[in-house]
Structures are given as C-alpha cells and as structure tokens.
Amino acid sequence: MPNALTRTFNSIGGSLMARSGRVGILGTTGAKTGLARRAPIGFVAHADGTILLGSGSPVNRGWTVNLKASPSCTFAIKGQELRYRARLVGPDERDAALAELRAKMGGIAERSNWGDLFVLEPEA
C-alpha cells in the first residue's frame, strides 16, 4: 500500500505533471484488491495511437503487476482519457523500445532497462 506521500503525489503532483503532457495517468484494476488504481507515468505516444510505458525499477511496481493481471486499462493525456489493452514488450522489441524511451525522455529513462515495458493498444 502506498504511503501518504506517494498518495499525495499521485493525486496532486501527478495530476499537475499530467496536464503538462509529459506524464500521463494510468488507470488499472488492483491485482489483489480489484479496486481502481491510478499512477502518473512517463510515456511515448505513437502516431498509430499506441502508447509506450516503462517501469524504471527492477522491482515490480504496483501498476506493472496490475497490468499483467488485468491488461484492460485507461490512460489520460492532458485530461483526455481513453481505454487501452496493455501488452508486455517482448525480448525481440525491447532494445528498440528502450532506445525510444531514452530519446524521448532523456536521462530519466536510463533506469528503464531493468523494468517492464508495455505497449498500450487502443480498445475498439
């Protein structure tokens, strides 16, 4: 369970960064609780409507566990929320995805080579 500081950041700071367009808000269903969860996450948007997300930690973050358990999710960019289906990036596309994250996000993405990467595909 997130501590009070994390909850405050997610509700206030994450929302402010999301409005900047540099961070989106991922909506998932809790793997253990079944409750709605939200997390601010950096992203790369593609012209085809897909979105690339990466975990900057070698330890599974709550949102990565949630997406693996239930890949249906939402993602909001600048307040516009859409429905997606998450797909774990496979080994054959991992290097290209990491290069793309690094190019778009700079130094903050340097840690992403240890964590899970996902592609969010729009639901029909």
Low-confidence ranges of the chain (pLDDT < 70): 1-21, 58, 106-114
pLDDT for 123 equals 94
- The DSSP symbol for 87 reads E
pTM reported for the whole predicted model? 0.79
Domains of the chain with bracketed CATH = 4-122 (2.30.110.10)
pLDDT for 120 equals 96
Q: Residue 57: which of 106, 114, 12 has the closest Cα?
A: 114
SS3 at position 1: coil
Write out pLDDT tens, residues 44-60. Answer: 999 999 999 887 776 77
pLDDT for 99 equals 85
